[in-house]
Structures are given as structure tokens and as C-alpha cells.
Amino acid sequence: MTTTASSTTPTSDAGSLPVVPHWIDGTEAPSTSCRTAPVYDPALGVATKHVALANQAEIDRAVASAAAAFPAWRDLPLAKRQQIVFKFRELLEAKKGELAEIITAEHGKVVSDALGEITRGQEVVEFATGLAHHLKGEFSEQVSTGVDVYSTKQPLGVVGIISPFNFPAMVPMWFFPIAIAAGNTVVLKPSEKDPSAAIWLAKLWKEAGLPDGVFTVLNGDKEAVDGLLTHPDVRAISFVGSTPIAKYVYETGTAHGKRVQALGGAKNHMLVLPDADLDLVADSAINAGFGSAGERCMAISVVVAVEPVADELIAKIAERAATLRIGDGRRNCDMGPLVTKVHRDKVASYLDIAEADGATIVVDGRNTPIDGDPNGFWLGPTLIDNVPTTSKVYTEEIFGPVLAVVRVASYEEGVALINGGAFGNGTAIFTNDGGAARRFQNEIQVGMIGINVPIPVPVATFSFGGWKDSLFGDTKAHGAEGVRFFTQQKAITSRWLDPSHGGINLGFPQN
């Protein structure tokens, strides 16, 4: 079976373009809403397909299918559930090149980077192949005379996953391998900007032997999101996206009685101390600032240079930026286009703001030569020095290849700046002073910290998530927190009857 991205009968909105359908009951479900949105190839600058946007009837159908599949999936022996996850992992490993091409064609990131995101998602699949270990309960013998207490972890039921455009494979894979292995059924609402990866993953699950209804893809926009947030049969929501929507999802979902984890936006700083290896810092700033065109929630967007390093460091970053090849992700370039024209223009508008606010544009991405179609959504790597911390270039998440430099006089000033920000997703310190690094990891108000590592995304056995406006709810993705999110515990107190313990006693039982 070839797990290609799919297409079905076009709707009137789509003209002659194919329409990415939903995936319900183990098969493609063409749109019945007659509402679609265009999906672009960002390197060509043209819509290549449309995506179905669900209406209420489709939302109800998707959730009903997932709810119907739940009891049998929950009751399937754990070993059998894990075997299906194993099979999914093997198929993913064998076929991930196909998925990478689909991602590049809709997101724009270069193929090697698309493969990288799949590999990081696959880590969570591999974690879930051993979930039996994490689903073990606890047991305390003889807590009272003849009484034992033990706990079990059970699945919740139907869980919703709502994902952003920037990692169409990895972010859903932060959640669904654990949710499914734990015995839940999943409704995934992917980003409408790059929906085909989700359908490809659904077909892979089918090939791996997952029963119909355990993994559903509901394509759509706000209507689909609101439908999941308010549906009485959806027990939990895992969301990843921008901060305003994360906050809305958290508030709406919890108001409707759901367990919600909502990961939001970011503005990640890299603090560079004067003793750091500036070649390593410059390489890291380039990789973490411009990889995936800066469309990563763990991208570095601000370099905080503790003087006197700024001039030398900026020269090294600018020199490296000039060597990058920007163009079509299928042509072995270093960096691809931005996801849509609207987003490209919004990111470029921050260069005008920087100029108006008195910052210095050292490398101007508007002038970068491009190896790609002139209609693509291009903006080259941009480096801006002397960014005032009152400027929107500093305070707002730009989510593009724009690296700001802020100069500070001391370590303390740098830490105060980072801790004063609204976001707390990731941060990094570059230094050769172990004492300074240790102090930083203790003092900084951020959820994920790199020490001489610019994008400190924890491996799957740990949990991923930020602090402050980067995470609403108290549970992070994958690792132990992921298992906790997708399970509910029962505590069982048991006594096998002994006639000597009869009798009436209205007080709390004691030893």
C-alpha cells in the first residue's frame, strides 16, 4: 500500500483543485460542508489544493466514530496495542521520505529539515512502544490490618489534538502515540495550512493495523476547534499554536469540563557571555535563528550579547548568513520560504518597524538572492542590531528568519531582560564558565534551557513545554507528563474478608 497524500472530488470553492478530505471510520471522508481553504506550495507561491473545513455534522460524525471505537480499543490487551504502535514505527521508518516531501510541498521547509521533524516525532512513537512500563500502577501492602491499596491508570476516552502549521508531523506525534498506546481514541485537527501530513499518518495507522475510529482526522478552522472544545464526548484537548489561541482554547476547553494542555508562542533568547566560544555561538545563532525560516517555537529570535562581544559576534553571524542558500526546499537549499504570502508580508513588516524604531539592519533579507520561483513567499535571513526593548521587533513573536541583537552590560542585566518577558518557552546560555551556567539554570524563568545548546528540545523521555504565556495548563507534552495527561488514576482499597474485622465503627478507619 502506498501512503500518498490524498485528494477527492473538488468543491465549488476549490475549482479544479483536489480537496484534502477528513479521515473518519478508517477511510477518507470527502467534505460535505462545501467550505474549503486553499493550501499553497510556498516555494511556488500558488495554491495546489484545497482542504475541507468541517461543519457541525462532520464534527459530530468524527467524535461519534472515535467514541464508538473507544471501548474495544481500551479493552484490547496492552501488548496488542503496543504491537500496533511497533508496526506504525516500522512503517514510519521505512516510508518517512514520502512524508518529508509532503511536508516540504505544503510548509516549505527544506526536505532534510522535514525529515528531522519526523525523526523527533518518531522518538515519541518509540517511547510509546514501551508504554506498558509507564502504565504500571502502585501497590502498598497491609496499609491497615488486612488492607491493601493500589492504583491503576486508565485511558480517558476521546481526546482532541489541535496542531499548528509549523510542525505538521512532529507536533501531532508529541501526543497521539502516547494517547493511543494508553488506550484513548484520537481526533486530530491539523493546521489548515498543511493538512496532508495528517491524512498520510492516518493511512499509515490503518496499514499498521489500528482499528477504524481509533485515529480520526478532522480538517477545519475555528468551527472545528470550537466543535471539539465544546463537545460533551471529548474528554481532553492537547493544543499547540499561538499564545492568544492557546489561551482561548485553555479557557474554553476547561469551561466545558475538559482536561486541557495548551502550548503557546515564544520569544527565545540566547545569552552570550564574554568568555563564550564566538564561532560556536555564531554557528548556533544561524542554525537556531534561520533553520525552518525561523518558523519554530524553539527558534532563537534574540541574541543578548554581554559586552564587549557584540561587534565581533555580529560580524561572525553576518559573514555566515551571507553563505546560506535560500530557495526551494527540494533543491538542497539551507532555508526555504515562509508558509503563506500573508505571513511573509507580516514578517517583512517588522523590518520597517525596526528602521522606524532606530535599530540597525545589518543583514536585510529583502535583498537575498533566491534559488526558486519568483512567486514564492521569500524572505532571506535578517539580522538587526541595537533593537530597543520597547520595539515590537523585541516584544512580539515574529516567527520568521529575523534575528534581533540586544546589547547588555552584564550577566545580571541579561537575565533580568529574559525574565521580564511575557514568554518562557526556551532559552540558552553560551559560556565556558560552569558556575555561570549553573546559576543561569537556577535563576531563569523559562521552561526549557540550553547550556551551549541553542534549541534545547528535550528528548521524548522528558517532557516538552514552557512557562508563563508559552503554556496554559500544568501539563507538558510527552515523557512522564504526557502519560499523566492521557490517563486517569484510580486508587483501590481492598480487603478480603476476615470475620474478626466485622462490627460497626462510624469513625475513620484506623490501623
Q: Which residues bind ligand NAD (CB under 6 A)?
A: 162-167, 171, 189, 191-192, 221-222, 225, 240-242, 245, 263-266, 297, 397, 399, 425, 466, 470
Q: Which is nearer to ligand NAD, 129 or 238 (CB)?
A: 238
Q: Are residues 305 and 460 in contact, defined by beta-carbon separation less than 8 angstroms?
A: no
Q: Which is nearer to ligand NAD, 73 or 485 (CB)?
A: 485
Could you tell me the smallest distance in angstroms from the CB atom of residue 274 to ligand NAD? 30
Could you tell me the smallest distance in angstroms from the CB atom of residue 267 to ligand NAD? 9
Strand, coil or helix: 490: strand
Q: Which is nearer to ligand NAD, 309 or 403 (CB)?
A: 403
Q: How far apart are CA 24 and CA 202, in angstroms?
A: 9
Q: How far apart are CA 178 and CA 262, in angstroms?
A: 17
Q: Which is nearer to ligand NAD, 309 or 446 (CB)?
A: 446
Count Cβ atoms below 10 Å from residue 403 Cβ, excluding itself.
Answer: 30
Alpha carbon distances (Å) from 70 to 4, 124, 134: 27, 22, 20
CA-based torsion, 410, 282, 462, 244: positive or negative = positive
Could you tell me the smallest distance in angstroms from the CB atom of residue 246 to ligand NAD? 7
Q: Which amino acid is at 489?
A: Q
Question: Could you tell me the end-to-end alpha-carbon distance of the chain, in angstroms, rounded to an integer?
Answer: 62
Q: Which three cell numbers stand for residue 438?
A: 549553573
Could you tell me the smallest distance in angstroms from the CB atom of residue 188 to ligand NAD? 10
Q: Which is nearer to ligand NAD, 155 or 337 (CB)?
A: 337
Nearest to 45 by CA among 369, 400, 372: 372
CA-based torsion, 53, 296, 301, 348: positive or negative = negative
Could you tell me the smallest distance in angstroms from the CB atom of residue 207 to ligand NAD? 25
Using CB positions, name the residue nearest to ligand NAD: 241
Q: Are strands 215-217 and 268-272 parallel, antiparallel or unpaired?
A: unpaired
Q: Which is nearer to ligand NAD, 193 or 206 (CB)?
A: 193
What angle (nearest 5°) sits at the alpha carbon of residue 197, between those of residues 341 and 94?
Answer: 135
Would you call 297 a catalytic residue per the annotation? yes
Could you tell me the smallest distance in angstroms from the CB atom of residue 53 to ligand NAD? 9
Could you tell me the smallest distance in angstroms from the CB atom of residue 265 to ligand NAD? 3
Exposure class string for 215-244: b at 16+ Cβ within 10 A, else e? bbbbbbeeebbbbbbebeebbbbbbbbebe
Q: Which is nearer to ligand NAD, 166 or 185 (CB)?
A: 166
Q: By CB neighbour count within 10 A (0-12 exposed, 13-18 middle, 19+ buried), where does 436 fall?
A: middle
Residue 407 parent element (H or E) = strand 402-408
Nearest to 235 by CA among 491, 492, 488: 488
Q: Which is nearer to ligand NAD, 386 or 470 (CB)?
A: 470
Strand, coil or helix: 17: coil
* Residue 466, C-beta contacts closer than 8 angstroms, at least 6 positions apart: 263, 264, 266, 423, 424, 425, 426, 446, 447, 448
Could you tell me the smallest distance in angstroms from the CB atom of residue 264 to ligand NAD? 6
The one catalytic residue in 52, 67, 124, 297 is 297
Catalytic positions: 297
